[in-house]
Amino acid sequence: MNGAESLLRTLADAGVEVCFSNPGTTELHLVGALDKVPRMRAVLGLFEGVATGAADGYARIAGKPAATLLHLGPGLGHGLSNLHNARRANTPIVNIVGDHPTYHKPYDPPLESDIETVARSLRGPVRRPANVAAVRQDAVSALAEALEPPGQIATLIMPADVSWSDGVAADGDGNRPATPIRPVPPVAPRLIEQVAGVLCSGEPSALVIGGPLGREAGLCAASRIAAGTGTRVLLETYSSRLEHGAGLPSFPRLGFYPDQVLRQLDGVRHVIVAGTSVPVAFFAYPDKPSRLVPDGAQTHVLAEVGQDAVAALTALADLVAPDREPVVTAAGRPAMPSGPLTVDTWPAVIGALLPERAIVVDETISSGIGLSAATAGAPRHDVLAMCGGAMGEGLPLAVGAAVAAPDRPVIALEADGCAIYTLSALWTQARENLDITNVILNNRSYAILREEWQHLGAGASDPHTNRLLDLTGPDIDFVGLARAFGVPGSRASTAEELAEQFARAVAEPGPHLIEAVIPPVA
């Protein structure tokens, strides 16, 4: 057995089931090895950013890592944007990057680059097996490192000569090491008691939750605390996986802009943070603070990112609200709107028709202001957001989510500017026959940058006339592009059209695309 097969068999033995790939010459022995390891499903993306974003979406839903397969340093570079998003979501990924044979690198061939330096920007471990005998241990170590709480991206650089070299017994030599799994570190009971004292002091407090607290147990604990103490509860701005809908507590997200967050926290004396970071501004603005805790308020970190935030918040709820039940959202859907699509009406259509057990990928940016409220009473669903701010992950996230949960409908709600980055993900959706309904919110502009223009005071000219913020001339034909990639497409400009097309797309198997034409917010 060569090094390539040893790597993939070791990962498959440890439970890695999918490899999202865009390979090149230096990875061809790994491609061949995938044929010999049927337990490892190979999913091809036409662009590395599709493969890396899909690995992120898969792991968030499956609860375990996927592998990627990328081509040298430039391939890693192409995939870096969505690896950045995955890092910010604390997603475990085993990132495999092929490299030139060891003896070939000193000649500086055209695709030679410093892969290690690029990979280290992801702040995860980087390994390079020195020979075929080292592959198994490095593979196990990379997987264990990816799974270290809260999850990280472990990069394994495979020189081509290590991939093609033989030297491992095909039936296993009995020395395959076990994958060490580090338990999630607990929060000290004394700290939980201290925070309980703060909440019972009577001083106004806010609780900011994120990470694993976006699931049912965390949401219910937060709701009990709010009911028992009057504490304001806020979700982090972008959640890696949020359970939402009827029968669950629902909380507002932290705003995007500093003024929004400071209004949400106005008057509080204590800001308690659990499972996420202390609120900071997404961007810097003149004369605005970066750290968004009000002056005079104390910050208390109940659970650091990577600690057992769910157990800590549940214990806190038991201390401060032992007899309280969580307040949950009643089942109910918005009335079906009519007339031209707007930022107010299109979310109502989705809320009125959202199917049971859906996975909603939300990369709507400025167009999705009303989405959370419109779907709060819809059947329970999961929401995946782009956590790192690098545009273009929505369609790849949908690919990964659909591979992880083929029995659940996936709804990708995508801004037009974001969709263009990774539109080739539609081809993978068609090839794998994934049950994804893609709704492209087309306002023919970078509307979010027009909003930012106003906040930054970027210039005296009108952002509505700036050609760098405009996506017309020519207009982008998303329906035609979808059909070119093998996905049925349609266009809606009224609520009635969107409702009819969305209901049909959800009912039919396989991928669909709906271009929803809306006016920009700003």
DSSP secondary structure, 416-429, as one string: HHHHHHTTTHHHHH
pLDDT of residue 173: 46
209: β partners: 235, 274
Q: State the DSSP code for 223.
A: H
pLDDT of residue 25: 97
Distance (Å, whole) CA 277 – CA 289 = 16
pLDDT of residue 237: 96
- The helix (H) or strand (E) run that includes residue 355 is none
Q: The tokens of 296 are what? A: 């005079």
Q: Where are the alpha helices (DSSP H) in 45-179?
A: 48-62, 72-88, 115-120, 135-146, 160-164
Count other Cβ atoms within 10 Å, centred on residue 154. Answer: 27
Distance (Å, whole) CA 149 – CA 363 = 26
pLDDT of residue 466: 81
Distance (Å, whole) CA 368 – CA 246 = 19
- Per the document, the length of the chain is 522
Q: The tokens of 291 are what? A: 């750290």
Distance (Å, whole) CA 170 – CA 176 = 12
What are the residue ranges in the chain where pLDDT is below 50?
173-174
pTM confidence score: 0.95
pLDDT of residue 460: 64
Map tokens 């034409």 to a residue: 517
Give me the amino acid identity at 88: R
Q: Could you give phi then psi for residue 45, rounded to 5 degrees? A: -115, 145
CB contact set of 285 (below 8 Å; sequence gap of 6+): 257, 258, 455, 456
Count other Cβ atoms within 10 Å, centred on residue 77. Answer: 15
Q: Are 388 and 84 in contact (CB under 8 A)?
A: yes
Q: Hey, which bits of 379-511 come out as E strands?
A: 381-385, 410-415, 436-442, 489-492
Distance (Å, whole) CA 58 – CA 55 = 5
Using alpha carbons, select from 187, 190, 188, 138 the residue that is nearest to residue 162: 138
Map tokens 């307040």 to a residue: 327
**C-alpha R_g of the chain:** 24
